[in-house]
């Protein structure tokens, strides 16, 4: 559990949210909603693990960066995925 760092949240969650925005741009709404769902589920699972690590673990080498970034990206991709 000590090896888990909040930076692990960024590439896993952000990738699917950015893919959702890309799919929305080319009007592939089903793929955009699927990518959003996968990103949201990874955000829930990995976000929970990272939060437990921050609450129970020792000190971190760096500042816990990236906890709030998936929220911003998910709003953007949800808006772009639901607009038709």
User: Which residues constitute the domain of residue 19?
Assistant: 14-54+64-82
Q: For the chain, what is the domain count?
A: 1
5 in any annotated domain = no
Tens digit of each residue's pLDDT (9 = 90 or more) over 9-58: 677 778 888 888 899 889 899 999 999 899 889 888 888 887 887 778 76
Which pTM was predicted? 0.65
1 in any annotated domain = no
32 in any annotated domain = yes
Q: Report how far Cα 79 is from the mean position of its chain's Cα atoms.
A: 15
The string of DSSP letters for 15-79 reads HHHHHHHHHHHTT-HHHHHHHHHHHHHHHHHHHHHHHHHHHHS---SS----SSHHHHHHHHHHH
Q: Report how far Cα 66 is from the mean position of its chain's Cα atoms.
A: 9
21 in any annotated domain = yes
């Amino acid at each position: 559990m000590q090896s888990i760092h909040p930076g692990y949240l960024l590439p896993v969650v952000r990738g699917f949210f950015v893919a959702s925005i890309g799919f929305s741009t080319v009007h592939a709404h089903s793929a955009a909603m699927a990518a959003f769902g996968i990103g949201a589920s990874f955000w829930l699972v990995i976000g929970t693990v990272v939060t437990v690590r921050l609450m129970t673990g020792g000190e971190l080498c760096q500042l816990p960066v990236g906890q709030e970034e998936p929220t911003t990206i998910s709003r953007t991709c949800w808006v772009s995925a639901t607009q038709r």
